Amino acid sequence: MNSWHIQQAIRCVRLGGVLAYPTEAVWGLGCDPRNAKAVRKILTMKSRPEHKGLVLVGSSLDQFDDWIKPLSPADLAQVQATWPGPTTWVLPCVDSVPVWLRGHHESLAIRVTDHPLVKTLCATIGPLVSTSANPAGKEPARSALRVRQYFAQQPDYILQGVLGGRDKPSEIRTLDGKRLR
């Protein structure tokens, strides 16, 4: 992936656009999580209800300091043992996290990625919304072509790249040991 394409993806997000990009297992849709209009565009594209909440992906745990409440040493160790990697954690969020991200929950789903392209993006612009590129009820896209078939011109930029080689989307866990996916 050349730097021009990465710069275009960064520009897209900074201007409030929706980005389609490859992740560890499937293609994702992403945007600036602080941009309500961009987040709502993704929810509309997917026909996803706001109350479900979304996942944020970042390049390091410290990128989420403004989003989640401090963790106990034991919880922190549990989370860090799985990152970077394909595990999403549902963690208690600070009160200022908007409903369009957390849904009807007092928590936020976050992941520290090990996908090189996504890690580069997040290291430059901070956390991104990361939700599978598919309309509700359809299989997640595993190619840029499928993203186009699902959404036509709705993503503002499609960042070409390869998937991370995993068969399934990230596992979702809670601190009390539940596996939600």
Q: What is the pLDDT of residue 169?
A: 73
Q: How far apart are the first and last CA of the chain?
A: 31
Contact 42, 129 (CB under 8 A): yes
Q: What is the pLDDT of residue 20?
A: 97
Contact 143, 94 (CB under 8 A): no
Superfamily of domain 3-163: DHBP synthase (3.90.870.10)
Backbone angles phi, psi at 109, to 5 degrees: -90, 125
Q: For residue range 80-126, what is the model confidence (pLDDT) as tens digits?
A: 999 999 899 999 999 999 999 999 999 999 999 999 999 999 999 99
Q: What is the pLDDT of residue 1?
A: 57
Report d(CA 130, CA 52) in Å as an integer.
14
Q: Where are the domains of the chain?
A: 3-163
Q: What is the pLDDT of residue 44?
A: 95
Q: What is the pLDDT of residue 166?
A: 82
The DSSP-derived string for 15-50 is TT--EEEE-SSSEEEE--TT-HHHHHHHHHHHT--G
Could you say which residues of the chain have pLDDT below 50? none
